Structure 1
């Protein structure tokens, strides 16, 4: 199976997306007190030293207690990185995570865990999973020990590396894992709970494609509905077990829903898509073209294979924009580049994409020792490992490689990503760019009655309109100010060690951030109206999750009522806290998506005007013939 790797950086959020950065824990008076109160200063420094000391000791323990397989993985990968940034050895843990990411499912309890100063902490209960169904685990609960089965002994996991804790919690479907937790809601730090959860399949529906419909107001007071499909990766079946869904199938489902809702244009959002399965990338590109080449793949022996879409069915014939960033890598670049080469889509986003133009293949390695034909079947089998090797390079239908250069945008928007080291060109030992002959192919979009941005006057008009908005709209002034501030901070190489200067700088930075947050809140008031669409499998998961929460809520309400009755009997009166309605989730003010939607609205209006003019000409000609 040929598979594209996931983007290797640890970024989980696009730096371009501006979010509210308010920090309720920041107290300027407390920081200023460090200079004014010597006793407070000593206490604070002692607490900081203790925290750092414990952190160093924990990191030293991590190094000393590393398993042989982890050392093996680090050693081999240190060697492979000298030749290629994308070839690597996958230990059993890494391979399992890789398969889960591509298939969007795994067997476990369904909880997002995080290391919080050496303690494994529940950060999120995944919807529809065993943990949510049990109602026994909650956000911010601390896992102190783990036991296997009903009668297994607890093993302390405090200060244990998170990947080892995860391995102990995961297991075979239908088996029981017991957790010793300190409830996050407990006021008493000595509080403990022993809970049992039966492991089951966890569906990562949050990692699947999703969609929304944005209503764009026009100067005439009308609304233009624009559909947006956010695609986080190219997932599907890799032959390592069942898969949740496929990317092409999910995008098809969402396109049908958006079309039924009246979408006049589609934006395919690949900004945070780091790659995935090559086969799914070809299928997704084929949803927007009748037939034709999608990518050329050059093999180690020099042979070039052309992977084409051979399905005549189109899921979308209207205007199409692909929204990209420097995080759009690998399979994302295949889709964006192919649709650009075909003249089918307009590329909007950062100046170019990531620039990864190589293909990796995963080779599952034989873990059986030599001369082990008569190995005792009762002995535990070694967990599978694999190697991921760069074996091919891909080229767009036009012959250009995406290596290093990526896919350039037709309309580029200002971005903080332009000066951050996040592209393929920033990686050591990356392959050079080259080019091969193009594939001879032509689609007559006008004859096929399929929208294309390749009309010179159309592309020029769209670019000019966008440039004018970038120079006049308040949100772009806000964005450019953010970029300049972050660029100045990034390029800063000297930091003062003077405490007074550091405190003054921290307070000044926080004051600036607070002012920008206020400006962001003001901009959010002008957000467009949007409607969200999710996949059928996600709807089913949400329904199951709501039922789980309802049952858990009813049980907790019964316990609370019983406790309240006991409190009243004991003469204890509780004061209920008022709910804060202002904490409801609001849509992000996504400047890049907003501008892409405006570009799409311009395209639709221009195309509609041209069609109207053509129709009017035909009618006039017919009248003269009469």
Structure 2
């Protein structure tokens, strides 16, 4: 199963079996109560967090107070269901959760959950009734606005204030739908179905779902990668690991009412299809080529995963709200569910040339999508088992025969994988020495992952990274940087520098963080990531993607360095390299465009509120489309290409008018350097580096 679920500050884990069976809105809702098994699990979980988690913090009154705030945020992150009198009433529980959970007492937590359920059900019933009433009118001519992020806003003072807030929500949702091309009545029907479905599911909630929210609100205070898995979610985790069901190859997380794409699994169906992007938000899901779309806004993360997951070879269609602010309408994407094949994740190479003054450098690039190893073949004793290191070793030999002047290791979008492979890959470029340090929760430090053999490749190298380079990628890039073995190019990496383990509880399981990675320099890869020597622009906002975007992420710190040699003093070469780099960036049409696009993305992300006046929004949409068209055409003209006649032509070229019945497209498997401005600039930077080396230093010292 190739759907990976991660936590974010808005994530709440539930073990809900999706069921849309008929249920009257007037049906009596049972008050949820804890079970004896859950009480025992709470005691067990608190003890394991205290004794085994890497972060040494006591569950006391201070942490109980933080838990109170986190629990309320997990339930009502947008602050639109509870009212201030509820919060005032709950305040008496603020410093009691530490004592309660150590004793397995869950009554107060369930009381808060049940109140939230009551408020939410009453609100959604009122919303559905409003949308059903033909007398309800929405005035899209009045100039008013809605705040996009209510995290720091107060809860509504009373029901009347909540009613006003929800009237704005309805207008905003209707406007978004209308701006995507739907009529008002069609938009109202879609919205009515959305809230009616949420209402049905709410009335079928179980105490297990409530308990999961409570426990994950606590584990989140330790770090974002520590999770409680209910018995059902633990079973789903086992199913996913067995690959009995397939998915689209996406890392998903919750973001307010939406399920957001955090990253794509390299070689997975979504990445190969090419249209789904990080930060896209999933609006609705349909099964097969002609199935009806089901609106999933407001659904819980595991519910969305269940709709995306399905038998290998079947089709799933996603309606997404693109992360690109220039894309003003939703996009429909057709993806075939498949297993990620090892050959689709295998390293591959290319050779290209760059000019540097009067010289032309012949460079190689090795693209490594993930750190893989065919463990099954290895365990069977197959001498030809596939692994990252074995494949790269062969590619290095091929590139040596082609007499390249240097090599770029491309780790963009490489989310990690096998830690031993990252260490063995480093071994191909450095002589024997440490690669990474691992500190356990008891402060024990190990340096067992090392380079053991003399380096296979000794010519200059560069490592190309981006925000989605994580974990094992960061260990390799960090080691190359610390050894001074090559130059690091790109944008700051993800910052995932922690180690998790699954432990059994008396009821469910706990995925717990028990160690941290440290570079041989002593710096942690956690939170800060690997900072490149030469920066390239990124369209991914680190406030949205990466370890630093999570609340309560383990901090960056450092330990003692591990003794190691140094190949090149990279810092002394950087002034000249940076000067040439900036001159190229200022003149390159692709990077001029990327910098403008990045600025537009940032501008959109910083927007605090939006208008609820239709004419205003339409004018903003037209302005955004014109701006996007002008930017694109400026780039095309500078490159000698024909400009687009209008925005419709640009949208079509970018896949905005896809035929839903057409077979899914696959991304190119071949590396084409001339079509990749990041790779070409990395080549120029590497050439600048090589050009500064004296002849006797162009081979890394023995």
Task: Give the TM-score of the pair, scaled to structure 1.
Answer: 0.59
For residues 230 and 203 of structure 1, what CA distance do their matches in structure 2 show?
Answer: 16
Q: Is contact 1:236–1:280 with CA below 8 Å preserved after alignment?
A: yes
For residues 561 and 250 of structure 2, what CA distance do their matches in structure 1 show?
Answer: 48
Partner residue in 1 for 2:680 = 594
Shift of 1:591: 3.0
For residues 200 and 472 of structure 1, what CA distance do their matches in structure 2 show?
Answer: 42
Shift of 1:598: 0.7
Shift of 1:125: 10
Q: How does 1:80-229 map to 2 (within 5 A)?
A: 80-89=219-228, 91-92=233-234, 95-96=237-238, 99=241, 106-107=243-244, 141-142=289-290, 161=303, 163-164=305-306, 169=311, 203=341, 205-220=343-358, 223-229=360-366
Shift of 1:422: 2.6
CA, structure 1 residues 435+498, in 2 after alignment: closer, same or farther (shift >3 Å)? same
Select which of 532, 544, 548 maps to 1:421: 544
Which deviates the most, 397-406 or 501-510? 397-406
What secondary structure does 1:307 align onto?
Answer: coil
For residues 238 and 614 of structure 1, what CA distance do their matches in structure 2 show?
Answer: 37
Select which of 455, 459, 473 maps to 2:574: 459
In the alignment, is residue 49 of structure 1 matched against residue 188 of structure 2?
yes
Partner residue in 2 for 1:441 = 564
For residues 362 and 110 of structure 1, what CA distance do their matches in structure 2 show?
Answer: 23
Select which of 278, 281, 302 maps to 2:443: 302
Highest Rg: 1 or 2?
Answer: 1
What secondary structure does 2:457 align onto?
Answer: coil
Shift of 1:480: 2.2
What secondary structure does 2:524 align onto?
Answer: coil
Structure 2 residue runs without a partner (length 5+): 10-139, 142-177, 253-257, 259-267, 273-286, 293-301, 318-336, 642-665
Q: Is contact 2:426–2:451 with CA below 8 Å preserved after alignment?
A: no
Structure 1 residue runs without a partner (length 5+): 11-33, 101-105, 118-122, 128-138, 145-159, 171-176, 183-198, 370-384, 446-451, 527-582, 616-626
Partner residue in 2 for 1:287 = 428
For residues 303 and 392 of structure 1, what CA distance do their matches in structure 2 show?
Answer: 9
- Summarize deviations over 1:533-584 as a string: whole Å, max 9, x none: xxxxxxxxxxxxxxxxxxxxxxxxxxxxxxxxxxxxxxxxxxxxxxxxxx99
For residues 312 and 612 of structure 1, what CA distance do their matches in structure 2 show?
Answer: 23
- Summarize deviations over 1:473-529 as a string: whole Å, max 9, x none: 333322222222222222121212111111111111112112223344456779xxx
CA, structure 1 residues 307+65, in 2 after alignment: closer, same or farther (shift >3 Å)? farther
What secondary structure does 2:526 align onto?
Answer: coil
For residues 394 and 697 of structure 2, what CA distance do their matches in structure 1 show?
Answer: 34
For residues 393 and 206 of structure 2, what CA distance do their matches in structure 1 show?
Answer: 44
For residues 86 and 272 of structure 1, what CA distance do their matches in structure 2 show?
Answer: 20
- Summarize deviations over 1:306-352 as a string: whole Å, max 9, x none: 134243143321111112223323222211111111111211122x3
CA, structure 1 residues 273+77, in 2 after alignment: closer, same or farther (shift >3 Å)? farther
What secondary structure does 2:437 align onto?
Answer: strand
Aligned length: 444
Q: How does 1:520-599 map to 2 (within 5 A)?
A: 520-522=635-637, 589-599=675-685
In the alignment, is residue 611 of structure 1 matched against residue 695 of structure 2?
yes
Shift of 1:71: 6.8
For residues 246 and 258 of structure 1, what CA distance do their matches in structure 2 show?
Answer: 18
CA, structure 1 residues 273+62, in 2 after alignment: closer, same or farther (shift >3 Å)? farther
CA, structure 1 residues 286+82, in 2 after alignment: closer, same or farther (shift >3 Å)? same
- Summarize deviations over 1:121-143 as a string: whole Å, max 9, x none: xx96999xxxxxxxxxxx96246
In the alignment, is residue 316 of structure 1 matched against residue 457 of structure 2?
yes
